[in-house]
Amino acid sequence: MGYEEVMEKVTEIAREIFEDEELVLKDETVAADVDGWDSLTHLALMNEIENEFEIKFQMKEVQGIKNVGELVRVIVERIS
Amino acid sequence: MYKFRELKKAAKQETEGKEYRLAVLGNCATQFLSQCIAGFSHLEGMNLKVFDADYNQIDAQLLDPDSETYAFDPDYILLYLASDKLYEEFMGLEMKERTAFAEDIMSKLSAYWDMTEARSKARILQMGFTEIDDRAFGNYGLKISESFSYQMKKLNWLLSDAMSKRKGVYPVDLLSVQLSLGRERFYDPVLYYNAKVNVALESWGYVAEQVFHVISSLQGKVKKCVILDLDNTLWGGVIGDDGLSGIEIGELGRGHVFTNLQLWLKSLKLRGILLAVCSKNDEDNAKLPFLEHEEMVLRLSDFAVFYANWEDKATNIRRIQESLNIGMDSMVFIDDNPFERELVKNMIPDITVPELPEDPALYLSYLQSLNLFETASYSKEDSDRTGMYQAEAKRRESEARFASLDDYLQSLEMEGAAAPFDELHYPRIAQLTQRSNQFNLRTVRYTEDEIARIAEDKDYITLYYTLKDKFGDHGLVSVVILKKISETEVFVDTWLMSCRVLKRGMEEYIINRMVSEAASFGIKTIKAEYIPTAKNKMVEHIYESMGFDTIGDGLYSLDIESFSKLKTYIS
């Protein structure tokens, strides 16, 4: 699965978690840009991504990923 | 199990029906738990509002009478001390202090219960403790009182012991959730260290399910009867084809499987669940194993009702329901045959029909995993319930022999009695308020504790009624609570009656005694109310038929001076 495809899946999940059908994620998107992306929904998002891609994030990834682009890169790396 | 995502979404959804309120207090991050409980309840059709206290606010919330928890006016308060957090406290102790850890935590819990009971009418749901073995002593830790695993096992035991003496505290068995999921699935270290959330997100649903079961049972939603198929359900093989010596039970073939299933059913029966048979068989064939097979655990006397014939099962189940007079939603139908299960599910949507696995070896563990028989009470009378229903069957037989209902009622030689609530009967009285749905005028649920308080309160006149006849003792069948609203007026806060004794003059007897009792307190007027629910339509017009005047929508009044005693054959 390539970068574009992962980004698409992540967007789909994020739309559901943040309950915004029109949400668009870009590489440089950060939590503060998205309505409802707080520490709790962040955990729910990570959980959904883990379920979807059948991976497990490390603690520093859950805490330290800077933006959506980095998140997608970590996922792509994990599943390849 | 619902996905975390579904539960989270459903938490926000509005649900119809009576509103119940739950406050969740924990020493850990409980937001996800609260969301999952709300979501689970909504998906199951219960209108539950959940208040989540902030992280580690138990002391502050319970101590302050003006706290958000008490202001929320909860019906239930869930107290949750997570073992992961306790473990960190434990590790901070000196070695010599560790041996007293379980006792210290238990006295803290008791203090929480005292505070809650002093300030709130909520029932306390107490989360049990999961066990963590830190392997600091290896296996040897089990016999070392300084080890955490030793202290946690002790704590769980102390908790059970303390709860057995506390009427208003109801356990939620968290350890059993952890055991069935396994520690790996139950606990997510990354989540815990990131957010102090000590249960993996996808496992919260299982915890929420248990909390939901306990709350449902407190609302009287309990199973009362198991209807059983026979061939390949209670024994292996077909009695009509294989004969007495060919069916698998006990030593023969897969008999052990069926023996253990029967042993479990027997213990359900002993704790008050009624057993009934619904089988496509000749009646004589069907009864033969229970009469003649030495290794059969269940005997005919264990069944309240026995239907073996060639009619369709839905018809027979309706007959069983009529003769037991309990709701379809309180019955479970167990049958190995998917066709019969489908038919019954389609014809009778309210009944619970477990999808038995194909291999009988899996029946028992599957049925146990469903936790169908949650209860919020247990009293001695429960174990005798089957006998009461069997006596009822004899009464029905005899009824058929009399030309008129009056003749029949007279022949029963019924004797009633009424007395104010006493301590011995608090459990049964509370249980009836929790379980009675049909003959229940206002459906107010009470705990044992509340019943005790009412019994001692001078503003209440309380009565419980018993009935016996020549066939047997019905035990405690009705409860009346009258609340004084002035010097000369009472209001019927509660009137409920067991449906077993319907239409044999007990209603009239109850009113006669209610009136004479009230009169002895100088009461002139009895006010009453009928609050409709989905289930109590049968008593919609009972007050009119007992001579009360209608004074409003569902409101009634009886003038004691002009009351003339109602006719009844109960002496």
Instruction: Tell me the average pLDDT of chain B.
Output: 93
All structural domains of chain B with their residue ranges: 4-218, 225-369, 402-559
H/E element holding B473? strand B472-484
Chain A residues touching residue B202 (CB < 8 angstroms): 47, 51
Residue B81 is predicted with a pLDDT of 96
In this complex, the residue of B32, B194, B197 whose CB is nearest that of residue A63 is B194
Pick from A30, A47, A7: nearest CA to B202: A47
Instruction: Collect all residues with Cβ–Cβ distance below 8 Å to B252 and sequence separation of at least 6.
Output: B236
Within 10 angstroms of residue B183's Cβ, the number of other Cβ atoms is 12
Q: Rounded to an integer, what distance in angstroms lies between the CA atom of residue B440 and that of residue B560?
A: 23
CA separation for the pair B129, B106 (Å, rounded): 11
A56 at interface of B, judged by CB pairs closer than 8 A = yes
Q: Which CATH architecture has domain B4-218?
A: 3-Layer(aba) Sandwich (3.40)
Residues of A in contact with B5 (CB under 8 A): 16-17, 44, 48
Nearest-by-Cβ selection for A43 from B3, B5, B195: B195
The verdict on a CB contact (< 8 Å) between A43 and B202 is no
Q: How many CB pairs under 8 A join A and B?
A: 31
Rg (CA), chain B: 26
Spans of all domains in chain A:
3-79
Same topology between domain B225-369 and domain B402-559: no
ipTM of the complex: 0.90
Contact between B527 and B438 (Cβ < 8 Å): no
Residue-level pLDDT at B440: 96
Residue A58 has pLDDT above 80, yes or no: yes
Q: How far is B190 from chain A (nearest CA, A)?
A: 5
In a 10 Å sphere around its CB, with 0-12 CB exposed, 13-18 middle and 19+ buried, how is residue B251 labelled?
exposed
Contacts of residue A14 in chain B, CB cutoff 8 Å? Answer: none
Chain B: nearest CA to A77, how far in angstroms?
20
Is domain B402-559 annotated with CATH 3.40.630.30?
A: yes
Three-state SS for A3-23 is HHHHHHHHHHHHHHHCCCCCC
Q: Which of A43, A48, A56 lies at the smallest CB-CB distance from B194? A: A43
Q: Which residues of A touch B197 (CB under 8 A)?
A: 43
Per-position DSSP letters for B244-260, written without gaps between them: TTTSB-TTSTTHHHHHH
* B499-513 tens-digit pLDDT: 888 888 999 999 999
Confidence of residue B454 (pLDDT cuts 50, 70, 90): very high
Amino acid at B375: T
Q: Which tokens go with B21?
A: 């309120």
Report residue B378's pLDDT band, with 50, 70 and 90 as the boundaries.
Answer: confident
Q: Tens digit of pLDDT for each residue in B476-499?
A: 999 999 999 999 999 999 999 998
Distance of alpha carbon A34 from alpha carbon A20, whole angstroms:
10
Q: Which residues of B fall below an 8 Å CB-CB distance to A?
A: 3-5, 8, 31-32, 190-191, 193-195, 197, 201-202
CB-CB under 8 Å, A57 with B190: yes
Whole-number pLDDT of residue B382: 76
Q: Mind telling me how many Å the CA of A68 is from chain B's nearest CA?
A: 19
Query: Sign of dihedral through CA atoms A24, A27, A28, A30?
Result: positive
Average pLDDT over residues B412-434: 91
Nearest CA in chain B to A47: B201
Phi, psi of B422 (to 5 degrees): -130, 165
B194 contacts A59? CB cut-off 8 A? yes
Return the CATH fold of B225-369.
Answer: Rossmann fold (3.40.50)
How many Cα atoms sit within 13 Å of A18 on the Cβ side? Answer: 24
Instruction: Please determine, for residue B400, whether its predicted confidence score (pLDDT) is greater than 90.
Output: no
Enumerate the residues of chain B whose CB falls inside 8 A of the CB of residue A48: 5
Most A CBs within 10 Å, among B8, B188, B192, B203, to test the A interface? B8
**Would you say residue B163 has pLDDT above 90?**
yes
Higher pLDDT, B232 or B473: B232
Distance CA A72, CA B87 (A): 36
CB contact under 8 A, A47 and B201: yes
Q: What is the pLDDT of residue B424?
A: 86
Amino acid letter at B103?
A: E
Contact yes or no for B46/B19 (Cβ under 8 A): no
The H or E element that residue B490 is part of is strand B489-497
Output b/e per residue, B140-167; b: 16+ Cβ within 10 A. Answer: ebeebebbbbbbbbbbbebbeebbeebb
Condensed to tens digits (0 to 9), the pLDDT of residues B178-217 reads 999 999 999 999 999 988 899 999 999 999 999 999 999 9
Residues of B whose CB is below 8 A from A56: 190
Q: Which of residues 3-42 of A touch B (CB under 8 A)?
A: 16-17, 39-40
B202 contacts A44? CB cut-off 8 A: no
d(CA B497, CA B432): 8
Pick among B194, B197, B199 to test the A interface (most A CBs inside 10 A): B194
Q: Which CATH number describes the domain made up of A3-79?
A: 1.10.1200.10
Residues in chain A within 8 Å Cβ distance of B201:
43-44, 47
Digit-coded pLDDT (tens) for A13-25: 999 999 899 999 9
Residue B410 pLDDT level (bands cut at 50, 70, 90): confident
DSSP class of B228? E
- Interface probe for B, chosen from A46, A47, A49, A52 (most Cβ of B below 10 Å), is A47
| Burial grade of B79 (CB within 10 A; 0-12, 13-18, 19 or more) | buried
Q: Do A59 and B190 touch (CB under 8 A)?
A: yes
| B380, pLDDT greater than 80 | no
Q: What confidence score (pLDDT) does residue B397 get?
A: 74
**pTM, two decimal places:** 0.81
